[in-house]
Structure 1
Amino acid sequence: MRFNKETFVAGFALFSMFFGAGNLMLPPLLGLKAGESWSMVTLGFVISAVLIPILGIVAHARLQGTMLDFAKRVSPGFSLVYCVLVYLISITLPSPRTASVTHEMAIQPFFGTSAWLTSGIYFALVLLFVLNRSKILSLLGKFLSPILFIVILSIVALGVFGTLDPTLNPSTFETPVVTGLLEGYQTFDAIGAVVVGGVIIISLKIKGEENFERIRSLIISSGIVAGFGLFIIYAGMIYNGALFGAEVDPNISRIGLLSELSLKTLGNIGRSCLSVLVGLACFTTAVGIVTGTADFMKGILGESKKAYVITAIVGCILGVVMGQFDVHYIIDVAVPALMLIYPITIVLILLNAIPDNFTSDLTFKIVVIVTIIFSIPDFLASIGMGASVQPLLEALPLGKYSLAWLLPAVVTWIIINLFSLVKRKS
């Protein structure tokens, strides 16, 4: 690994693609409710919103293919279905959510315009960037991302160092680490890793970089840069939320709390800075999602440029339509989808990131099947069938924490590897 100008450009580009609407809204309210347990909540949040996503980037650096390669060792058919589901979820939930947040925080309070107008202009600009994808790394890495990072870091620093007598409220969470872990799902960062990691690799190859080892080193190094940036911002925003717990209404909304933090830390210019922040964070994420989806369709349709353009246009139209819904409605709708697809995504990331000696094709197949089976109760509970599956969730280890899949997947992986080890020795 090496860290140079190219590494930091790619790292900032990765950071900006990860850092979107949910990444801004979720940490402060999490900190507000966590209070004195903010560090434990941060630990859980960082696991699902930083560590696992960066392992996803490491896995991309090892594979250097498309997202289809993430699940192909389960089966080609499963890989195709998985990818279609991930991209469908991405362009119908997190991508439109970026436009909705931008409208509610950065446009509507100042101009009073309709959500249709905001979404229309917003996704027209997204489409412009996506159709000029060869310039994505330089535009995001050299210009937009550093501005975004500086504005967020200013809010964090002024909040942390400007509070002379911090008073932390008692935590409202029974299990802060688990709460932080599950809240990290809503950032979509693990899904983002398997989507935008491929965007970075393809962008590098378009720029003429072909050496496998050089690409691997660059991607891993840039992933570390992006991960460090995400960690600093998440921990800082969670701590800020905890610091201001005694000064705001405990029932304040996510967007309301973020606005309060910016006003308290940056004073009269806080609202304007927050508007820039929201617009940049959301926009760069939408660009990454739509580009990744268009790349995928182009790849499975014989590298068709027409497929890339049509997919980008359809993705932006969906963004305009879905972007009309309230932010909190989109968050609520996303829960069932995340309960089903996130455990599979986490398992695939981990299996692709660890050495091949511990991940045979059989391991991929059985561990993923077990993960799907034990994710179903959590999914059913999230769509209102909690009463039916409650006895099962209570019987399963970690079931009451919406993590019924975790131990079965880990135990399955251990058993298969022990069996393989015994077989090799005999």
Structure 2
Amino acid sequence: MQIRTLVVTGLALFAMFFGAGNLIIPAMIGVDGGSSAWVGAIGFLSTGVLLPVLSMVALSTKRADEPRLADRMGKTLGLAVTTLIFLFTGMVYVIPRVGAVSFEMGAAPLVGSSPLTLLVYSALFFAVTLALALRPNRIVAHIGIVLTPALLILLLVLIVAAWNAPVVNIEPKGTFATSPVVAGFIQGYFTMDALAAQMFGGVILASLAAAGFTGRNLHRGTAIAGVMAGAILGVIYLGLVAVGLVGTGANGAAVIANVAHAMFGPAGQTVFGAIVLLACLTTALGLTGASVEYFHSLVPAISRRNWLYICIGVSFALTNLGLERILAVVAPANQLLYPIVIVLVVVTLIAAGMRRDLYWAYRLPAWVAGSLSVLEAAWSTGVGAFAPLRSVLDVFPLGSLQMAWVVPAAAALAVGLLLDLRLTRRADVA
């Protein structure tokens, strides 16, 4: 029974991670990467697969008396970062994005794109999400037993059909021509899965606990589910890179739609639409469930059901603003949150390996990474007043690659570890 539960949970976690962005980004790596696509895929897998898996493993170390894993960086920063993650990867950005993208990619080619058709489609999409989310203890089962197998079958049919097609994208474009690994690494940010792992972890922990997992088995089961989901993600991502190599189009959605049409004829749009709908629905359902649990724990005076209505209502309203307005917030949000989350995950894994509590090793690199990520996020808004920040950030190593935080944060981590070791030794002597 426990093995079956872990398999269902791993499948559900994969589907929660795998939304619209996860579908189109690897395809565009194939298109833009050309002959360097497989090298770029290494960078993409590091932030799109390895980091979310490590984030789940790190989250599995959270103790029962810790409200948030990020509190290890300090309670104020932990509360701020965690709340921003739940907002941006929940009702403010990702849930509206999957609603809008599923319409643009799956429904609009069939019913036309207009404010009215978007309104009707999004009403139906979020009505289904609401109906499934009203039974939170069944969310993982709904996704893992029914929705994920259907999604995987459709994805594998498309990937296998395209595998032997002739490659049409050979010349690398943009950063893929000069630094393909870095280009793929940055693209992995846009899946937002390392952030989402901080949300999904609570859903997975609750589901496994309800299935009888306790203590160390509960944490081990969470880590196993994360590794399983990551392995499936990796296989699917590599398959979609191959699809991108044989397809053409202005964006990832058009590339996959064109390949589906070429492989299956008129039925290809139906196959593609079904893939998009299932990918977006599973992600919306997982994010909604996680958001409700977090905000209810933050403000328990509002019931879970009312938080669910708030989450669905806000997501529905923002979806109807249109995809372009929704996408405008993704780059600043990623640049702000990803460096801090990466620091949190790395230090948590170091602490687990050392089997000791750390203090300054969490705080110093988080403060440094956070300070630089605020500047990077401000610059990425495209607001003219923040344009001079680029010259400041480029002074740092890797700054021109929008990774100015890496070396200073690593140095701060080394200092923090030395301080923690020295203070511990002093305490032992005393």
Q: After superposition, where does 1:283-298 map in structure 2 within 5 Å?
A: 283-298=281-296
Residues 316-325 or 50-59, more deviating:
316-325
Residue 422 of structure 1 and its aligned partner are, at CA, apart by: 5.6
Q: 1:365 aligns with which of 350, 363, 366?
A: 363
Give the whole-Å Cα distance in 2 for the aligned partners of 1:109 and 1:65. 48
Instruction: Give percent identity, aligned residues only.
Output: 27
Residue 392 of structure 1 and its aligned partner are, at CA, apart by: 1.3
Task: Name the residue aligned to 1:313.
Answer: 309
Give the whole-Å Cα distance in 1 for the aligned partners of 2:104 and 2:168. 30
Residue type of the partner of 1:343?
Answer: P
Aligned CA distance change for structure 1 residues 211 and 273 (closer, same or farther; 3 Å): same
Task: Name the residue aligned to 1:264.
Answer: 262
Task: Name the residue aligned to 1:115.
Answer: 118
Give the whole-Å Cα distance in 2 for the aligned partners of 1:215 and 1:4. 13
Residue type of the partner of 1:87?
Answer: F
Task: Name the residue aligned to 1:7.
Answer: 6
Give the whole-Å Cα distance in 2 for the aligned partners of 1:275 and 1:103. 9
Residue 180 of structure 1 and its aligned partner are, at CA, apart by: 1.1
Task: Name the residue aligned to 1:125.
Answer: 128
Give the whole-Å Cα distance in 2 for the aligned partners of 1:30 and 1:129. 34
Task: Name the residue aligned to 1:34.
Answer: 33
Task: Name the residue aligned to 2:339.
Answer: 343
TM-score by length of 2: 0.90
What SS does structure 1 have at the residue aligned with 2:85? helix
Task: Name the residue aligned to 1:43.
Answer: 42
Task: Name the residue aligned to 1:171.
Answer: 172
Alignment check: 8 A CA contact 1:336 1:379 kept:
yes
Residue 326 of structure 1 and its aligned partner are, at CA, apart by: 3.5
What SS does structure 1 have at the residue aligned with 2:265? helix
Give the whole-Å Cα distance in 2 for the aligned partners of 1:266 and 1:221. 36
What SS does structure 1 have at the residue aligned with 2:381? helix
Alignment check: 8 A CA contact 1:377 1:392 kept:
no
Higher relative contact order (CA 8 A, sep 6+): 1
Q: After superposition, where does 1:9-88 map in structure 2 within 5 Å?
A: 9-63=8-62, 65=64, 68-88=67-87
Q: 1:149 aligns with which of 138, 149, 152?
A: 152
Q: After superposition, where does 1:327-342 map in structure 2 within 5 Å?
A: 327-342=323-338
Residue 47 of structure 1 and its aligned partner are, at CA, apart by: 0.9
Give the whole-Å Cα distance in 2 for the aligned partners of 1:65 and 1:195. 16
Task: Name the residue aligned to 1:200.
Answer: 204
Give the whole-Å Cα distance in 1 for the aligned partners of 2:65 and 2:270. 39
Q: Provide Cα deviations, 1:267-319, integer angstroms capped at 9, x if missing partner.
A: 332211111111111011111111111101222334x6x52111111111111
Task: Name the residue aligned to 1:104.
Answer: 104
Residue 264 of structure 1 and its aligned partner are, at CA, apart by: 2.4
Q: Provide Cα deviations, 1:87-106, integer angstroms capped at 9, x if missing partner.
A: 12121111101111111122
Residue type of the partner of 1:187?
Answer: T
Q: Which structure 2 segments of 5+ residues have no match?
A: none
Give the whole-Å Cα distance in 2 for the aligned partners of 1:275 and 1:154. 14
Residue 234 of structure 1 and its aligned partner are, at CA, apart by: 1.0
Q: 2:189 aligns with which of 182, 185, 193?
A: 185
Task: Name the residue aligned to 1:377.
Answer: 375
Q: Provide Cα deviations, 1:13-45, integer angstroms capped at 9, x if missing partner.
A: 000100011111211112101100011211111
Aligned CA distance change for structure 1 residues 261 and 68 (closer, same or farther; 3 Å): farther
Give the whole-Å Cα distance in 1 for the aligned partners of 2:224 and 2:241. 26
Alignment check: 8 A CA contact 1:367 1:412 kept:
yes
Give the whole-Å Cα distance in 2 for the aligned partners of 1:260 and 1:359. 52
Residue 60 of structure 1 and its aligned partner are, at CA, apart by: 2.0
What SS does structure 2 have at the residue aligned with 1:209? coil
Alignment check: 8 A CA contact 1:133 1:203 kept:
no
Alignment check: 8 A CA contact 2:10 2:225 kept:
yes
Aligned CA distance change for structure 1 residues 67 and 45 (closer, same or farther; 3 Å): farther
Alignment check: 8 A CA contact 1:371 1:408 kept:
yes
Residue type of the partner of 2:398?
Answer: L
Alignment check: 8 A CA contact 2:359 2:420 kept:
no
Residue 421 of structure 1 and its aligned partner are, at CA, apart by: 4.3
Q: Provide Cα deviations, 1:46-98, integer angstroms capped at 9, x if missing partner.
A: 11111111111112222165994211122222222222211121211111011
Give the whole-Å Cα distance in 1 for the aligned partners of 2:2 and 2:38. 29
Give the whole-Å Cα distance in 2 for the aligned partners of 1:175 and 1:243. 22
Task: Name the residue aligned to 1:230.
Answer: 233
Give the whole-Å Cα distance in 1 for the aligned partners of 2:306 and 2:96. 18
Alignment check: 8 A CA contact 2:243 2:256 kept:
no
Residue type of the partner of 1:19?
Answer: F
**Alpha-carbon RMSD:** 2.2
Aligned CA distance change for structure 1 residues 425 and 70 (closer, same or farther; 3 Å): closer
Give the whole-Å Cα distance in 2 for the aligned partners of 1:191 and 1:32. 26
Q: Provide Cα deviations, 1:222-268, integer angstroms capped at 9, x if missing partner.
A: 11110011001111111221233xxx35xx12321121122223333
Alignment check: 8 A CA contact 1:148 1:281 kept:
yes
Alignment check: 8 A CA contact 1:68 1:80 kept:
no
Give the whole-Å Cα distance in 2 for the aligned partners of 1:36 and 1:64. 46
